[in-house]
Structures are given as C-alpha cells and as structure tokens.
Structure 1
Amino acid sequence: MDNRAGEMQAFLRVVEAGSFSEAARQMRMTPSTLSKMIARIETRLGARLLERSTRRLSLTAEGWIYYERSQTLLAGIEDLERDLSQGAASVGGTLRVSASVGFGMVAIEPILPAFCAAFPNMVVDLSLSDEVVDLYLDRTDIAFRVGSLASSSLTALKLGTAPRLIVASPAYLARNGTPRSAADLAQHRCLGFNFRRSSPVWPLRESGRMVDRTVTGPLLANNGETVRRMALAGMGLARMGEFHIRQDLAAGTLVEVLAESVQGDTEDIHALFFGGERLPHRVRVFLDFVTPPLRAFLVDRPEPHRAGP
C-alpha cells in the first residue's frame, strides 16, 4: 500500500531528531525499519536525500527541498482534516482586507454576505482606497491590487486581467461630439486622477503602435468611483477598468468610445499577502472562498455599448 504521507512524516522525524536511532525510538519502531522507509523514498525519487556518517546526518540539496515541501504538504493535510472535522464555525478571527474603491464595490462586497454566512465567527475588516497601502504598516492581511506590481517580498495571486475602456455619457457626447481618433482627445474634456503615481497620459493605439496622449479636463480625483460618477453626470471622458463600469455599460448610461485605440490597454488584478504557502488559516480560508467567483467575474465580460457613427 502507498504510504507516502507516512514516509514523509518518518523523514521529517529523522531530520529533526538528527539520527535514525533517536527517530526510531520516538516513533516506536526499529532503526532498520526506519532506514528502509527512507531508502524507499530515495529509490522512488532517484536521488539521495541524506548523507550518512558515523557521527551525524546531513541533508543533500534534494533533501532540503524534500524536507521543506513535506512540511508544507503535511501541514495542508492537517488543516484540511481540521476544517472538515470541526466545520466552518471553528474558523474565527479578524481578517483585514484592502481593495481599490471600484474593485471593492463591484467585486469584493457582493461576495461578503455569503462568506460571512459560511464563516460566522470571522470578522472582515474591509478598507477601500485607491491609494497603495503598506500591508505591514497598516496591518493588512490581504490587499487586492489593480495594475502593475512593485517588486516586494509579498506573495501575489493573479486573479485575472481587466481591459481599460474610454467611456462617456450619451449626454456628453451629444453636446461635444464623439472622438474618432486619438488626436480628437485634444478637443475633449478628460477626467483624471491625482495620485502621485498617476500621470495625465492615456496610451492609445495609432497606426499600429502605442502612443501616449496627454489629456486635460475639469476634474482630478483620488478614486475611481468619483471619476465614474462624474462621467455619468456628463463632465467628460473617463478611462476606467471595465469591471468598474460594467453595469453602466450594460444600462447604456455610459458608452465606449475609441474602442480600437484602446485594444491591449489592460491591467492585471492580484491578491497580495504575506506568508507564501504557509498562510494563516483565516487568510487561506478567505482566499479559497473568494478566488473562484472573482476569477469568474473578471472573465464574464458582456459586450459594452459603443458610441454610434
């Protein structure tokens, strides 16, 4: 019978005890039996995991990899069995989550009622801001980021990719006309952002290549929701993530312009967190719950309303 989990446990005990004899004593088996178990692993892998000498044991490079991966796999088995035996009610604590205003409103918030019903002892502390938060300083467990990521020690789980669209209200287009080319933006009022990392430049495709077009307008805001509402009010054109304005596009209260010029203008969406594979239980439970619906949400994009000729 295949007993790889048992062999992993035996290997970990040998490494941590420092000898076959001590590990065998702890596991109540003979040193020869334990040695044969480790030999079976090495034979199956085709690699030596331990260097044996009369004085001590030492791990080979392959042995270190097997040791670390075995710890992770066995911890996962223990967590799985605890979850299934104790149920969702055993998962408790406060989970601090950060997300951009738009993504939090349209993607995260709709999932929370079902999550809180499934895990009644969990408290979700949700903060929405389009500023980039420092997970360590703000004591944040998970941050959902839209756009490029800076290099860091955080673990990034990619959820999907969202296109950015240029949109306007039908009333604005009726008053100001519909832009037909990237050059037309110079005659239009464009809504923007005032983040330190933002710039008044929209990348657009012209004659088969991407060109940065400088835009100006009557509004700079620190969050996408304000820009969305002002676009709905007819203040100007807005360049926004499709997920944020999906319902407006479906209702026709915003329509897309310059669709061919923005092809390829996308932004990746990630969940960022500390811990790598050895996550706090509350973090793993939340990610396992929200990742499938978030990925489905990002993929399920209806055809937007576009401005007519």
Structure 2
Amino acid sequence: MDNRVGEMQVFVRVVEAGSFSQAARLLLMTPSTVSKLISRTESRLGVRLVKRSTRQLALTNEGRIFYERSLALLEELAEIERDIAQDAVSASGTIRVNASVAFGTLGLEPVLLALWEAQPNIVVDLSLSDEMVNLYLDRTDVAFRVGSLQDSTIVARRIGTARRKIVAAPIYLERYGEPKTVDDLVRHNCLGFNFRRAAPVWPLKESGRIVDRAVVGSLLANNGETVRRMALAGVGLARLGDYHVRADIADGRLVEVLSSAVEGDEEEIHALYLGGPRLPHRVRVFLDFVCPRLSQFLIG
C-alpha cells in the first residue's frame, strides 16, 4: 500500500528530532524501521535526502526542499481534517442573505426549513430584492443572483440555469389571441421590469438566430413576482424564469406561448460570497447545505 504521507511524517520527525534514534523514540519505532522508511523514500525519489557520513544529521539540498514541501503539505492535510471535523458540529451565528424575490420565495425559503432542522443555531437575515446588491456595502454574506457576473473579485458558486418562458393567462389569450410569431408581439401587452439592468427587449429566436426584439407594455415592475401576478390577472404577456411559473403552467393558470422563440433564452444562477478559503464556518455550512438543494429545485 502506498503510504507516502506516513513516510513524509517520519522524515519530518527525523529532521526535527535531529537524529534517527531520537525520531524512532518519539514515533515508537525502532531506529532500523525509521532508516528503512527514509531509504525507501530516497529510492522512490531517486535522490539522497540525508547525509549519513556525519554524526549530526544533515540534509542535502534535495532533502531541505523535500522537508519544506512535506511540512507544508502535512499542515494543509491537518487543516483539511480540522475543517471537516468542525463541519460535523453545529454551526451558529447570523448569515446575511440576499436573493431575488421569486428565487428566494419559491426556492430558498422551503430549503431554510430543512436547514434549521439540521443547524438550529444559524440565524438567517434574509432580504429579497431583484435589484443587484453590493456585498461589501450591504454587509451581505451570500447573494443568490440570476444573470452574468459583474464583479470578478467575488467568489461565485454555480447553482444552475434558469430558462425563460413567455406566458399568459387563458383569459388574456381568449381576449387578444395567442401570438404565433415574434412579429405578433407588437400587438400584445408585454409586461416588463424597471431596474437598471433590465432592457425593454426580449432576446428571441427568429429565422434560426437570436435577435433582441423591442417590446412595450403597461407595466414596469422591480420584481418578477409582481409581473407574474399581473400575468395571472390577465393583464399581458410575461417573460419569466421557468421555476417561477412552473406550478402555474402545471395547474393551467398560465399558458406558455412562443416556446420555440425562447429556445436558448437562459441565464446562470450563482451564489456569490466573500471570504474565499477563509470563509466563516457558518457561511460554509450554509452554502454546502442549501446549494445542492437549490440546484435540484431548478431542475424541477
């Protein structure tokens, strides 16, 4: 069996103890066993690590490099074990979380119920908004966001893909007819958004390519849930994420139209957070718990 880590540990102990015999006593081994392990390491590497011609142990240049690299690797392994062991215990503290209204309501909130069953000492400070937040200025630990990433300095964990659908209530379609082509949209009330990153265009497939089709309507809202409710009321057409209208379509409250035109109209969803490798324990536990479940939610 390959036991390179064990051999590294023996080598490091020999270097730090200053002799084979002293290292053997500390490791509860015989000096001959320690010597054989060092020789096996040297044979595998094809270099001499320790000079054996003097009474005082001395390292070769390769031995010094191997010692420094082994020490760093063993410390990293110890840190991994500490982190994993820490993850097994209950996390605690407040986590400031931001999500879009629809994704937070339909996807995240049900997951929180299971989170608190597993981690009852975590407090979630949740804000729902379709506006982009600044994690630094708003002191946000985790933000779930739909769309392209704007800040490369923020760590992103991919959740999945949100595919868009154009939907309308049956009552609206009975009154105004169902659009059959992209050109038909000029005769329909297309509900939209008013936040800065929104544009009064819908990217639609036309003649085999994606084009930005300008649309107009009687509503501009700052969140998808308002647009959804107005669509349910028969006000107009809405272009929303499939997870947002999945249940409405299944129950017949909304009907998908122009399905071929929105093919390829999708955006990535990520969990954004600060901290990198020094992420607080409570935040890492939160992300490891909710992200896989939110990925399943998007799949449906």
Q: TM (normalized to structure 2)?
A: 0.80
Contact (CA 8 Å) 2:130, 2:223: kept in 1 or not? yes
CA distance in 2, matches of 1:68, 1:244: 48
Alpha-carbon shift at residue 40 of structure 1 (Å): 3.6
AA at the equivalent of 2:83? D
In the alignment, structure 1 residue 78 sits paired with structure 2 residue 82: yes
Q: CA deviation at 1:79?
A: 2.1
Q: 1:3 to 1:262 in 2, by over 3 A?
A: same
Name the SS for the 1:116 alignment partner. helix
1:113 maps to what in 2?
113
Which residue number in structure 2 is paired with residue 271 of structure 1?
A: 271
Indicate conservation of the 8 Å contact 2:87/2:285, yes or no. Answer: no
- What is the aligned residue count? 283
Q: What amino acid does structure 1 have at the position aligned with 2:181?
A: S
Aligned match of 2:173: 173
Rate the CA distance shift 1:199–1:83 in 2: closer, same or farther, 3 A: closer
Q: Would the alpha carbon gap of residues 38 and 93 (structure 1) be closer, same or farther in structure 2, given more than 3 Å must change?
A: farther
Kept in 2: contact 1:191–1:217 (CA 8 A): yes
Shift of 1:38: 11
- Checking the alignment, whether the CA contact within 8 Å between 2:159 and 2:269 is kept in structure 1 is yes
What's the counterpart of residue 241 of structure 1?
241
Provide the C-alpha distance between the structure 1 equivalents of 2:154 and 2:270, rounded to a whole number of angstroms: 11
In structure 2, distance between residues paired with 1:125 and 1:58: 48
Q: What residue in structure 2 maps to residue 149 of structure 1? A: 149
Question: Aligned pair in 2 of structure 1 residues 68, 58: CA closer, same or farther (>3 Å)?
Answer: closer
Alpha-carbon RMSD across the aligned residues, in angstroms, is 3.5
* Structure 1: gaps of 5 or more residues: 301-309
Instruction: Give distance in 2, aligned partners of 1:271 and 1:28.
Output: 47
Tell me which residue corresponds to 1:294: 294
Where does residue 252 of structure 1 map in the other structure? 252
- Amino acid aligned to 1:103: F
Tell which structure's C-alpha radius of gyration is larger: 2
* Equivalences for residues 131-146 of structure 1 within 5 A: 131-146=131-146
The answer (yes or no) to whether the contact 1:163–1:241 under 8 Å persists in 2 is: yes
Question: Alpha carbons of 1:5 and 1:117: their partners in 2 closer, same or farther (altered >3 Å)?
Answer: farther
> Are positions 1:230 and 2:230 aligned together?
yes
**Cα 1:212–1:38, aligned 2, differ >3 Å: closer, same or farther?**
farther
Q: Structure 2: how far apart are the matches of 1:23 and 1:262? A: 71
TM-score (norm. length: structure 1): 0.78
Does the alignment pair 1:220 with 2:210?
no
**Pair 133,3 (structure 1): closer, same or farther in 2 beyond 3 Å:** farther
Give the secondary structure class of the aligned counterpart of 1:159.
strand
Work out the percentage of aligned pairs sharing the same amino acid: 54
Which residue of structure 2 aligns with residue 93 of structure 1?
Answer: 93
Q: How far apart, CA to CA, are the structure 1 residues paired with 2:185 and 2:77?
A: 55
1:307 aligned partner: none
Task: Supply the distance in 1 between the matched residues of 2:205 and 2:239 (Cα, whole angstroms).
Answer: 14
Answer whether contact 2:100 2:131 (CA < 8 A) is retained.
yes
The answer to whether the Cα contact below 8 Å between 1:102 and 1:244 also exists between their aligned partners in 2 is yes
Q: Secondary structure at the match of 2:79?
A: helix
Q: Specify every segment of 5 or more residues in structure 2 that has no aligned partner in the other structure, as ranges.
A: 48-58
Indicate if the aligned counterparts of 2:203 and 2:212 stay in contact, CA closer than 8 A.
Answer: yes
Partner in structure 1 of residue 187 of structure 2: 187
Summarize the Cα distance change of 1:101–1:71 in structure 2 as closer, same or farther, 3 Å threshold.
farther
